[in-house]
Amino acid sequence: AQKITQTQPGMFVQEKEAVTLDCTYDTSDPSYGLFWYKQPSSGEMIFLIYQGSYDQQNATEGRYSLNFQKARKSANLVISASQLGDSAMYFCAMKGLSTLTFGKGTMLLVSP
């Protein structure tokens, strides 16, 4: 069975600072993938970034990067230069054969 753990219920950061959102996972599959999604207050889920278990380099997408430490089973999301619009819920998810398993999320609040 796959499991995703996000231990930070909420995080505060000042505008323009970097922030790291934690995600640890557990799986017995040798091949897996990890996603991060953003959920603003409006409710839609927005795909941010993906990391495959065999990818040699950490994924990056603009201001988002994934700090992937396979031995520690962690896939932390790093947001550089936070903006007010980054305030939202953030979910880490693991890809199974056909489905995704989600963590409980971290609420990020960016202050001016």
Partner 1 sequence: DGGITQSPKYLFRKEGQNVTLSCEQNLNHDAMYWYRQDPGQGLRLIYYSQIVNDFQKGDIAEGYSVSREKKESFPLTVTSAQKNPTAFYLCASRITSGSYNEQFFGPGTRLTVL
Taking a C-beta distance cutoff of 8 angstroms, is the pair 66, 80 a contact? no
> One symbol per residue from 42 to 61: x for binding partner 1 (CB under 8 A), - otherwise; what is it?
xxxxxx--x-x---------
φ, ψ dihedrals at 81, nearest 5°: 45, 65
Q: Return the number of the residue (75 or 105) whose C-beta is nearest partner 1.
A: 105
Taking a C-beta distance cutoff of 8 angstroms, is the pair 108, 11 a contact? yes
To partner 1, the closest distance from the beta carbon of 72 in angstroms equals: 21
Question: Can you give the binding site for partner 1, defined by CB under 8 A?
Answer: 4, 9, 33, 35, 37, 42-47, 50, 52, 91, 93, 95, 98-100, 102-105
